[in-house]
Structure 1
Amino acid sequence: MLEVCVEDLHGIDTAITGGAGRIELCAALAVGGLTPPASLIRAAVSATAGRTGIPALPVHLLARPREGGFVYSRREQAMIADDIRTAAEAGLAGIVIGALDATHRLDLPVLAAWIAHARALGTARGYPLSLTLHRAFDLCADLPAALEAAVSLGFDRILTSGGVPKAVDGVAMLGDLHRRAAGRIVILAGSGVSPATLPAILKSGVHEVHASCRVASETATDPAELRFGFAAAERSVTDRDTVDRLARMMAGHLTLE
Protein backbone atom coordinates (compact mmCIF):
# COMPACT_ATOMS: atom_id res chain seq x y z
CA MET A 1 0.00 0.00 0.00
CA LEU A 2 1.37 3.36 -1.07
CA GLU A 3 -0.23 6.31 0.69
CA VAL A 4 0.51 9.70 -0.87
CA CYS A 5 0.04 12.87 1.16
CA VAL A 6 -1.21 15.82 -0.89
CA GLU A 7 -2.13 19.43 -0.25
CA ASP A 8 -3.81 20.66 -3.44
CA LEU A 9 -5.80 19.70 -6.54
CA HIS A 10 -2.66 18.88 -8.50
CA GLY A 11 -1.58 16.50 -5.76
CA ILE A 12 -4.95 14.74 -5.70
CA ASP A 13 -4.97 14.25 -9.46
CA THR A 14 -1.33 13.14 -9.54
CA ALA A 15 -1.80 10.60 -6.74
CA ILE A 16 -4.76 9.11 -8.60
CA THR A 17 -3.12 8.90 -12.03
CA GLY A 18 0.22 7.76 -10.60
CA GLY A 19 -1.29 4.71 -8.90
CA ALA A 20 -1.45 5.57 -5.20
CA GLY A 21 -3.41 3.16 -3.06
CA ARG A 22 -4.59 5.80 -0.60
CA ILE A 23 -4.46 9.58 -0.15
CA GLU A 24 -3.77 11.54 3.01
CA LEU A 25 -5.37 14.93 2.50
CA CYS A 26 -3.81 17.90 4.24
CA ALA A 27 -2.57 21.46 3.83
CA ALA A 28 0.81 23.07 4.54
CA LEU A 29 3.08 20.09 3.97
CA ALA A 30 6.06 22.39 4.55
CA VAL A 31 5.28 22.24 8.30
CA GLY A 32 4.32 18.57 8.40
CA GLY A 33 0.73 19.03 7.29
CA LEU A 34 -2.35 20.78 8.71
CA THR A 35 -6.11 20.27 8.37
CA PRO A 36 -7.15 21.06 4.78
CA PRO A 37 -10.02 23.42 3.88
CA ALA A 38 -13.53 22.09 3.32
CA SER A 39 -13.36 23.03 -0.36
CA LEU A 40 -10.35 20.74 -0.89
CA ILE A 41 -12.11 17.95 1.00
CA ARG A 42 -15.09 18.22 -1.35
CA ALA A 43 -12.76 18.27 -4.35
CA ALA A 44 -11.02 15.11 -3.13
CA VAL A 45 -14.35 13.32 -2.67
CA SER A 46 -15.42 14.30 -6.17
CA ALA A 47 -12.11 13.27 -7.75
CA THR A 48 -11.99 9.86 -6.06
CA ALA A 49 -15.67 8.91 -6.34
CA GLY A 50 -16.44 5.61 -8.08
CA ARG A 51 -19.44 4.95 -10.27
CA THR A 52 -21.65 4.31 -7.24
CA GLY A 53 -20.53 7.49 -5.52
CA ILE A 54 -18.49 5.54 -2.97
CA PRO A 55 -14.81 6.60 -3.07
CA ALA A 56 -12.82 4.31 -5.36
CA LEU A 57 -9.61 5.51 -3.71
CA PRO A 58 -9.59 5.90 0.10
CA VAL A 59 -8.95 9.42 1.36
CA HIS A 60 -7.87 10.04 4.95
CA LEU A 61 -8.10 13.50 6.49
CA LEU A 62 -5.25 14.89 8.58
CA ALA A 63 -6.75 16.69 11.58
CA ARG A 64 -4.09 19.04 12.92
CA PRO A 65 -5.20 22.61 13.64
CA ARG A 66 -1.79 24.31 13.81
CA GLU A 67 1.92 23.79 13.36
CA GLY A 68 4.16 22.95 16.30
CA GLY A 69 3.70 20.40 19.05
CA PHE A 70 0.85 18.08 19.86
CA VAL A 71 -0.27 19.17 23.32
CA TYR A 72 -3.71 20.63 22.63
CA SER A 73 -5.91 23.00 24.58
CA ARG A 74 -9.58 22.16 25.10
CA ARG A 75 -10.56 24.52 22.29
CA GLU A 76 -8.06 22.87 19.93
CA GLN A 77 -9.36 19.45 20.95
CA ALA A 78 -12.84 20.62 20.01
CA MET A 79 -11.55 21.78 16.62
CA ILE A 80 -10.10 18.33 15.91
CA ALA A 81 -13.37 16.69 16.98
CA ASP A 82 -15.13 18.97 14.50
CA ASP A 83 -12.62 17.97 11.79
CA ILE A 84 -13.44 14.33 12.48
CA ARG A 85 -17.13 15.10 11.98
CA THR A 86 -16.31 16.91 8.74
CA ALA A 87 -14.43 13.84 7.45
CA ALA A 88 -17.29 11.51 8.34
CA GLU A 89 -19.99 13.70 6.85
CA ALA A 90 -17.98 14.23 3.66
CA GLY A 91 -17.72 10.47 3.16
CA LEU A 92 -13.95 10.19 3.63
CA ALA A 93 -12.51 6.79 4.50
CA GLY A 94 -10.49 7.76 7.55
CA ILE A 95 -8.87 10.29 9.82
CA VAL A 96 -5.28 10.91 10.92
CA ILE A 97 -4.98 12.21 14.49
CA GLY A 98 -2.54 12.40 17.38
CA ALA A 99 -2.03 14.12 20.73
CA LEU A 100 0.62 14.08 23.44
CA ASP A 101 0.71 15.11 27.07
CA ALA A 102 3.43 17.24 28.64
CA THR A 103 5.57 14.17 29.39
CA HIS A 104 5.81 13.09 25.73
CA ARG A 105 3.37 10.24 26.14
CA LEU A 106 0.21 9.72 24.13
CA ASP A 107 -2.64 11.74 25.64
CA LEU A 108 -4.87 8.75 26.26
CA PRO A 109 -8.04 10.53 27.48
CA VAL A 110 -8.03 12.95 24.55
CA LEU A 111 -7.35 10.24 21.97
CA ALA A 112 -9.98 7.95 23.51
CA ALA A 113 -12.58 10.72 23.29
CA TRP A 114 -11.78 11.41 19.62
CA ILE A 115 -11.91 7.71 18.77
CA ALA A 116 -15.26 7.26 20.52
CA HIS A 117 -16.52 10.28 18.56
CA ALA A 118 -15.21 8.80 15.29
CA ARG A 119 -16.81 5.44 15.99
CA ALA A 120 -20.17 7.02 16.75
CA LEU A 121 -20.02 9.00 13.51
CA GLY A 122 -19.05 5.85 11.60
CA THR A 123 -21.99 3.96 13.06
CA ALA A 124 -24.34 6.79 12.11
CA ARG A 125 -23.21 6.80 8.49
CA GLY A 126 -23.11 3.01 8.15
CA TYR A 127 -19.38 2.32 7.78
CA PRO A 128 -16.43 3.07 10.07
CA LEU A 129 -13.70 5.66 9.83
CA SER A 130 -10.23 4.16 9.57
CA LEU A 131 -8.03 5.49 12.39
CA THR A 132 -4.37 6.46 11.89
CA LEU A 133 -2.13 7.74 14.68
CA HIS A 134 0.14 10.35 13.10
CA ARG A 135 3.80 11.13 13.72
CA ALA A 136 3.19 12.68 17.12
CA PHE A 137 4.02 9.05 17.92
CA ASP A 138 7.65 9.69 16.93
CA LEU A 139 8.06 12.21 19.76
CA CYS A 140 7.05 9.67 22.41
CA ALA A 141 9.78 8.80 24.90
CA ASP A 142 9.00 5.05 24.73
CA LEU A 143 7.86 3.93 21.27
CA PRO A 144 7.10 0.28 22.15
CA ALA A 145 4.92 1.45 25.06
CA ALA A 146 3.22 3.98 22.79
CA LEU A 147 2.53 1.19 20.28
CA GLU A 148 0.77 -0.85 22.98
CA ALA A 149 -1.27 2.20 23.95
CA ALA A 150 -2.27 2.76 20.31
CA VAL A 151 -3.40 -0.87 20.04
CA SER A 152 -5.45 -0.54 23.24
CA LEU A 153 -7.07 2.65 21.94
CA GLY A 154 -8.15 0.89 18.76
CA PHE A 155 -6.05 2.61 16.11
CA ASP A 156 -5.77 0.78 12.78
CA ARG A 157 -2.27 2.03 11.97
CA ILE A 158 0.61 4.17 13.16
CA LEU A 159 2.38 6.58 10.82
CA THR A 160 6.00 6.64 11.98
CA SER A 161 9.58 7.14 10.87
CA GLY A 162 10.87 5.04 13.74
CA GLY A 163 11.47 7.91 16.14
CA VAL A 164 13.96 9.77 13.93
CA PRO A 165 13.40 12.48 11.30
CA LYS A 166 13.75 10.14 8.28
CA ALA A 167 12.38 6.60 7.99
CA VAL A 168 15.48 5.24 6.27
CA ASP A 169 17.45 6.06 9.44
CA GLY A 170 14.85 4.40 11.63
CA VAL A 171 14.72 1.03 9.87
CA ALA A 172 15.81 -0.91 12.94
CA MET A 173 13.05 0.61 15.07
CA LEU A 174 10.50 0.24 12.27
CA GLY A 175 11.35 -3.45 12.10
CA ASP A 176 11.04 -3.79 15.88
CA LEU A 177 7.68 -2.01 15.89
CA HIS A 178 6.44 -4.15 13.01
CA ARG A 179 7.37 -7.32 14.88
CA ARG A 180 5.81 -6.07 18.12
CA ALA A 181 2.64 -5.12 16.26
CA ALA A 182 2.23 -8.76 15.21
CA GLY A 183 -0.75 -8.04 13.01
CA ARG A 184 -2.65 -6.13 15.70
CA ILE A 185 -1.93 -2.75 14.11
CA VAL A 186 -0.29 -1.64 10.86
CA ILE A 187 3.04 0.19 10.88
CA LEU A 188 2.91 2.84 8.13
CA ALA A 189 6.45 4.02 7.41
CA GLY A 190 6.78 7.66 6.41
CA SER A 191 9.15 10.63 6.08
CA GLY A 192 11.76 10.77 3.36
CA VAL A 193 10.32 7.82 1.45
CA SER A 194 11.60 7.86 -2.13
CA PRO A 195 12.57 5.36 -4.82
CA ALA A 196 16.12 5.52 -3.41
CA THR A 197 15.16 4.83 0.22
CA LEU A 198 12.19 2.49 -0.30
CA PRO A 199 14.15 -0.80 -0.63
CA ALA A 200 15.88 -0.32 2.73
CA ILE A 201 12.61 0.70 4.39
CA LEU A 202 10.78 -2.36 3.07
CA LYS A 203 13.48 -4.60 4.55
CA SER A 204 12.07 -3.66 7.95
CA GLY A 205 9.04 -5.79 7.11
CA VAL A 206 6.50 -2.98 6.75
CA HIS A 207 3.92 -3.29 3.98
CA GLU A 208 2.54 0.25 3.97
CA VAL A 209 4.51 3.41 3.19
CA HIS A 210 3.61 7.09 3.21
CA ALA A 211 5.27 9.59 0.86
CA SER A 212 4.71 13.09 -0.47
CA CYS A 213 6.36 12.21 -3.82
CA ARG A 214 7.21 15.86 -4.30
CA VAL A 215 9.93 17.43 -6.42
CA ALA A 216 11.03 21.02 -6.85
CA SER A 217 8.66 22.92 -9.11
CA GLU A 218 10.08 23.90 -12.49
CA THR A 219 7.52 26.68 -12.89
CA ALA A 220 9.11 30.09 -12.54
CA THR A 221 7.63 32.21 -9.76
CA ASP A 222 6.55 35.74 -10.60
CA PRO A 223 9.08 38.13 -8.99
CA ALA A 224 6.25 40.37 -7.84
CA GLU A 225 4.62 37.45 -6.02
CA LEU A 226 7.92 36.79 -4.24
CA ARG A 227 8.39 40.46 -3.38
CA PHE A 228 4.95 40.71 -1.82
CA GLY A 229 5.35 37.42 0.05
CA PHE A 230 2.55 35.67 -1.86
CA ALA A 231 4.80 32.78 -2.90
CA ALA A 232 7.85 30.95 -1.57
CA ALA A 233 11.19 31.17 -3.35
CA GLU A 234 11.24 27.39 -3.52
CA ARG A 235 8.15 25.23 -3.83
CA SER A 236 7.52 21.57 -4.44
CA VAL A 237 4.77 19.73 -6.28
CA THR A 238 3.55 16.14 -6.30
CA ASP A 239 5.38 14.30 -9.08
CA ARG A 240 3.53 11.69 -11.12
CA ASP A 241 6.66 9.78 -12.10
CA THR A 242 7.66 9.44 -8.44
CA VAL A 243 4.20 8.19 -7.47
CA ASP A 244 4.28 5.74 -10.36
CA ARG A 245 7.79 4.46 -9.51
CA LEU A 246 6.96 3.94 -5.85
CA ALA A 247 3.67 2.22 -6.70
CA ARG A 248 5.42 -0.15 -9.12
CA MET A 249 8.20 -0.85 -6.61
CA MET A 250 5.61 -1.68 -3.96
CA ALA A 251 3.77 -3.98 -6.37
CA GLY A 252 7.05 -5.69 -7.33
CA HIS A 253 7.95 -6.19 -3.68
CA LEU A 254 4.59 -7.83 -3.04
CA THR A 255 5.02 -10.31 -5.89
CA LEU A 256 8.49 -11.26 -4.65
CA GLU A 257 7.24 -12.22 -1.18
Structure 2
Amino acid sequence: MGKLEIACFNSESALIAQQGGADRVELCDNIKEGGTTPDFEITREIREQITIPLYVMIRPRGGNFVYSEEEFQMMKKEIQQFKTLGVNGFVFGILNHDRTINTKQNSELVAMAKPLPCTFHRAFDAVTDILLSLENVIQCGFSTILTSGTMPNVVEGITVLQQLVEKANNRITIMPGGGLRSTNINLIQKQTNAGFYHSSAITDGSETANIDEVKMLKSNLL
Protein backbone atom coordinates (compact mmCIF):
# COMPACT_ATOMS: atom_id res chain seq x y z
CA MET A 1 0.00 0.00 0.00
CA GLY A 2 1.17 3.54 -0.76
CA LYS A 3 2.20 5.74 2.15
CA LEU A 4 1.08 9.26 3.02
CA GLU A 5 3.04 12.26 4.29
CA ILE A 6 1.18 15.33 5.52
CA ALA A 7 2.83 18.76 5.32
CA CYS A 8 2.01 20.44 8.65
CA PHE A 9 2.34 24.12 9.52
CA ASN A 10 1.21 23.88 13.16
CA SER A 11 0.95 21.38 15.99
CA GLU A 12 -2.79 20.87 15.47
CA SER A 13 -2.16 19.61 11.93
CA ALA A 14 0.50 17.19 13.17
CA LEU A 15 -1.97 15.65 15.61
CA ILE A 16 -4.66 15.53 12.92
CA ALA A 17 -2.22 13.82 10.54
CA GLN A 18 -1.53 11.11 13.10
CA GLN A 19 -5.18 10.66 14.04
CA GLY A 20 -6.16 10.47 10.37
CA GLY A 21 -3.77 7.61 9.67
CA ALA A 22 -0.89 9.43 7.94
CA ASP A 23 2.44 7.61 7.85
CA ARG A 24 4.63 10.68 8.33
CA VAL A 25 4.60 14.40 9.12
CA GLU A 26 6.67 17.01 7.30
CA LEU A 27 6.86 19.99 9.64
CA CYS A 28 7.42 23.50 8.30
CA ASP A 29 6.58 27.14 8.95
CA ASN A 30 5.35 29.94 6.66
CA ILE A 31 2.76 28.34 4.39
CA LYS A 32 2.68 31.47 2.20
CA GLU A 33 6.39 31.01 1.45
CA GLY A 34 5.90 27.34 0.56
CA GLY A 35 7.48 26.22 3.82
CA THR A 36 10.52 27.28 5.87
CA THR A 37 12.33 25.92 8.93
CA PRO A 38 9.85 25.49 11.82
CA ASP A 39 10.29 26.88 15.32
CA PHE A 40 12.56 24.72 17.47
CA GLU A 41 10.36 24.72 20.59
CA ILE A 42 7.18 23.99 18.63
CA THR A 43 9.00 21.08 16.99
CA ARG A 44 10.02 19.81 20.42
CA GLU A 45 6.38 19.88 21.58
CA ILE A 46 5.18 18.07 18.46
CA ARG A 47 7.89 15.44 18.81
CA GLU A 48 6.57 14.71 22.30
CA GLN A 49 2.95 14.56 21.08
CA ILE A 50 3.16 12.28 18.05
CA THR A 51 4.61 8.82 17.52
CA ILE A 52 4.66 8.66 13.71
CA PRO A 53 7.87 9.73 11.91
CA LEU A 54 8.56 13.47 11.93
CA TYR A 55 10.60 15.11 9.15
CA VAL A 56 11.69 18.75 9.53
CA MET A 57 12.13 21.24 6.71
CA ILE A 58 15.43 23.10 6.67
CA ARG A 59 14.91 26.25 4.60
CA PRO A 60 16.10 29.62 5.93
CA ARG A 61 13.73 31.74 3.80
CA GLY A 62 11.22 31.73 1.00
CA GLY A 63 12.10 32.66 -2.56
CA ASN A 64 14.67 30.86 -4.64
CA PHE A 65 16.82 27.92 -3.55
CA VAL A 66 20.25 29.51 -3.98
CA TYR A 67 21.71 30.32 -0.58
CA SER A 68 24.50 32.54 0.67
CA GLU A 69 27.35 31.06 2.68
CA GLU A 70 25.79 32.54 5.82
CA GLU A 71 22.45 30.88 5.04
CA PHE A 72 24.18 27.58 4.29
CA GLN A 73 25.96 27.66 7.65
CA MET A 74 22.60 28.35 9.30
CA MET A 75 21.13 25.26 7.62
CA LYS A 76 23.99 23.12 8.94
CA LYS A 77 23.48 24.49 12.45
CA GLU A 78 19.73 23.82 12.30
CA ILE A 79 20.26 20.19 11.29
CA GLN A 80 22.55 19.70 14.27
CA GLN A 81 20.03 21.32 16.61
CA PHE A 82 16.97 19.43 15.37
CA LYS A 83 18.79 16.09 15.56
CA THR A 84 18.85 16.54 19.35
CA LEU A 85 15.02 16.37 19.40
CA GLY A 86 14.85 12.86 17.97
CA VAL A 87 13.28 13.82 14.65
CA ASN A 88 13.29 11.15 11.93
CA GLY A 89 14.52 13.01 8.86
CA PHE A 90 15.08 16.31 7.08
CA VAL A 91 13.69 18.08 4.01
CA PHE A 92 15.77 20.59 2.03
CA GLY A 93 17.19 21.36 -1.40
CA ILE A 94 19.87 23.70 -2.74
CA LEU A 95 20.30 24.80 -6.36
CA ASN A 96 23.01 26.68 -8.24
CA HIS A 97 22.25 29.95 -10.02
CA ASP A 98 21.82 28.04 -13.30
CA ARG A 99 19.10 25.87 -11.67
CA THR A 100 21.27 22.77 -11.49
CA ILE A 101 21.62 20.75 -8.27
CA ASN A 102 24.30 22.11 -5.90
CA THR A 103 25.84 18.70 -5.26
CA LYS A 104 28.56 20.01 -2.93
CA GLN A 105 26.29 21.78 -0.45
CA ASN A 106 23.51 19.17 -0.59
CA SER A 107 26.01 16.34 -0.01
CA GLU A 108 27.39 18.18 3.01
CA LEU A 109 23.95 18.53 4.57
CA VAL A 110 23.03 14.90 3.83
CA ALA A 111 26.28 13.78 5.50
CA MET A 112 25.55 16.01 8.50
CA ALA A 113 22.03 14.57 8.81
CA LYS A 114 23.24 10.95 8.91
CA PRO A 115 22.03 8.46 9.94
CA LEU A 116 18.72 10.25 9.31
CA PRO A 117 17.26 10.20 5.76
CA CYS A 118 16.76 13.37 3.72
CA THR A 119 14.10 14.43 1.21
CA PHE A 120 15.01 16.80 -1.63
CA HIS A 121 12.01 19.13 -1.68
CA ARG A 122 10.23 20.97 -4.47
CA ALA A 123 13.34 22.95 -5.41
CA PHE A 124 13.45 20.01 -7.81
CA ASP A 125 10.54 21.54 -9.69
CA ALA A 126 12.73 24.54 -10.62
CA VAL A 127 15.50 22.54 -12.34
CA THR A 128 16.12 22.70 -16.08
CA ASP A 129 17.36 19.15 -16.79
CA ILE A 130 15.06 16.74 -14.97
CA LEU A 131 16.88 13.46 -15.58
CA LEU A 132 20.36 14.87 -14.90
CA SER A 133 19.01 16.44 -11.71
CA LEU A 134 17.52 13.08 -10.68
CA GLU A 135 20.95 11.47 -10.98
CA ASN A 136 22.59 14.33 -9.08
CA VAL A 137 20.12 14.10 -6.21
CA ILE A 138 20.71 10.34 -5.98
CA GLN A 139 24.46 11.00 -6.02
CA CYS A 140 24.08 13.39 -3.05
CA GLY A 141 22.58 10.58 -0.96
CA PHE A 142 18.95 11.69 -0.62
CA SER A 143 16.34 9.01 0.06
CA THR A 144 13.35 10.84 -1.47
CA ILE A 145 12.44 13.54 -3.99
CA LEU A 146 9.27 15.57 -3.38
CA THR A 147 8.02 16.86 -6.73
CA SER A 148 4.94 17.87 -8.70
CA GLY A 149 6.66 16.68 -11.85
CA THR A 150 7.99 20.25 -12.45
CA MET A 151 4.45 21.42 -13.23
CA PRO A 152 2.10 23.62 -11.15
CA ASN A 153 0.45 20.50 -9.70
CA VAL A 154 0.72 16.70 -9.75
CA VAL A 155 -2.11 16.21 -12.24
CA GLU A 156 -0.38 18.40 -14.84
CA GLY A 157 2.94 16.76 -13.98
CA ILE A 158 1.67 13.18 -14.03
CA THR A 159 3.62 12.14 -17.14
CA VAL A 160 6.89 13.51 -15.75
CA LEU A 161 6.19 11.84 -12.39
CA GLN A 162 5.68 8.52 -14.15
CA GLN A 163 8.97 9.00 -16.01
CA LEU A 164 10.82 9.88 -12.80
CA VAL A 165 9.54 6.78 -10.99
CA GLU A 166 10.66 4.61 -13.90
CA LYS A 167 14.10 6.26 -14.20
CA ALA A 168 14.64 6.16 -10.43
CA ASN A 169 14.14 2.39 -10.58
CA ASN A 170 13.91 2.08 -6.77
CA ARG A 171 17.23 3.90 -6.22
CA ILE A 172 15.32 6.78 -4.63
CA THR A 173 11.66 7.34 -3.67
CA ILE A 174 9.73 9.73 -5.92
CA MET A 175 7.02 11.36 -3.77
CA PRO A 176 4.30 13.23 -5.74
CA GLY A 177 3.20 16.42 -4.01
CA GLY A 178 1.67 19.75 -4.99
CA GLY A 179 -2.09 19.92 -5.45
CA LEU A 180 -2.48 16.32 -4.29
CA ARG A 181 -5.97 15.67 -2.90
CA SER A 182 -8.24 12.75 -2.09
CA THR A 183 -10.00 13.42 -5.41
CA ASN A 184 -6.88 12.77 -7.52
CA ILE A 185 -4.56 10.61 -5.40
CA ASN A 186 -5.95 7.38 -6.86
CA LEU A 187 -5.31 8.60 -10.42
CA ILE A 188 -1.77 9.70 -9.52
CA GLN A 189 -1.01 6.38 -7.85
CA LYS A 190 -2.38 4.27 -10.70
CA GLN A 191 -0.39 6.15 -13.35
CA THR A 192 2.89 6.73 -11.47
CA ASN A 193 3.07 3.74 -9.12
CA ALA A 194 4.96 5.91 -6.63
CA GLY A 195 5.40 4.59 -3.10
CA PHE A 196 4.91 7.78 -1.03
CA TYR A 197 2.49 10.69 -1.48
CA HIS A 198 2.53 14.22 -0.01
CA SER A 199 -0.35 16.59 0.78
CA SER A 200 -1.20 19.38 3.21
CA ALA A 201 -4.78 18.02 3.42
CA ILE A 202 -5.93 21.63 3.81
CA THR A 203 -9.37 22.13 2.27
CA ASP A 204 -10.63 25.46 3.62
CA GLY A 205 -7.93 28.04 2.93
CA SER A 206 -6.66 27.86 6.51
CA GLU A 207 -3.25 26.58 7.65
CA THR A 208 -4.63 23.45 9.32
CA ALA A 209 -5.17 19.97 7.92
CA ASN A 210 -8.68 18.53 7.62
CA ILE A 211 -8.93 15.16 9.35
CA ASP A 212 -11.58 13.88 6.93
CA GLU A 213 -9.30 14.75 4.01
CA VAL A 214 -6.37 12.94 5.66
CA LYS A 215 -8.54 9.86 6.14
CA MET A 216 -9.80 9.97 2.54
CA LEU A 217 -6.29 10.48 1.16
CA LYS A 218 -5.12 7.43 3.06
CA SER A 219 -8.14 5.27 2.21
CA ASN A 220 -7.83 6.08 -1.50
CA LEU A 221 -4.28 4.71 -1.61
CA LEU A 222 -4.07 1.15 -2.87
Task: Give how far 1:195 is off.
Answer: 1.1
> 1:227 corresponds to which residue?
none
Choose which of 18, 26, 29 in structure 2 pairs with 1:27: 29
1:2 aligns with 2:9: no
CA contact (8 A) 2:31 2:207 kept: no
Higher relative contact order (CA 8 A, sep 6+): 2
Question: 5 Å matches for 1:9-24?
Answer: 9-24=11-26
Choose which of 178, 200, 207 in structure 2 pairs with 1:191: 178
Q: Secondary structure at the match of 1:106?
A: coil
CA contact (8 A) 1:6 1:25 kept: yes
Question: 5 Å matches for 1:209-224?
Answer: 209-216=197-204
Q: Which runs of 5+ in 2 are unaligned?
A: none
Task: Give how far 1:28 is off.
Answer: 1.1
CA contact (8 A) 1:215 1:236 kept: no
CA distance, structure 2, for counterparts of residue 168 and residue 103 of structure 1: 27
Q: Secondary structure at the match of 1:174?
A: helix
> 1:122 corresponds to which residue?
none
Q: Secondary structure at the match of 1:99?
A: coil
1:246 aligns with 2:217: yes
Q: Secondary structure at the match of 2:192?
A: coil
| Amino acid corresponding to residue 179 of structure 2 in structure 1 | G
TM-score, normalisation: structure 1: 0.83
CA distance, structure 1, for counterparts of residue 37 and residue 207 of structure 2: 19
1:171 aligns with 2:173: no
Task: Give how far 1:236 is off.
Answer: 3.9
Choose which of 29, 38, 41 in structure 2 pairs with 1:39: 41
Give the superposed CA RMSD: 1.0
CA distance, structure 2, for counterparts of residue 245 and residue 34 of structure 1: 27
Q: Which runs of 5+ in 1 are unaligned?
A: 49-55, 120-127, 217-233
Question: 5 Å matches for 1:69-84?
Answer: 69-84=64-79
How big is each residue's C-alpha offset from its partner over 1:108-162, in whole Å with a ceiling of 9 and x where there is no partner? 111111112122xxxxxxxx21110011011010111111011111110100000
1:105 aligns with 2:76: no
1:205 aligns with 2:193: yes
Identity of aligned residues (%): 32
Q: What is the aligned residue count?
A: 219
Task: Give how far 1:9 is off.
Answer: 1.5
How big is each residue's C-alpha offset from its partner over 1:78-121, in whole Å with a ceiling of 9 and x where there is no partner? 111112112211100000010000100011111111112122xx
CA distance, structure 2, for counterparts of residue 136 and residue 150 of structure 1: 11
Task: Give how far 1:37 is off.
Answer: 0.2
Choose which of 116, 122, 134 in structure 1 pairs with 2:121: 134
CA contact (8 A) 2:147 2:176 kept: yes
> 2:86 corresponds to which residue?
91
Higher helix share: 1
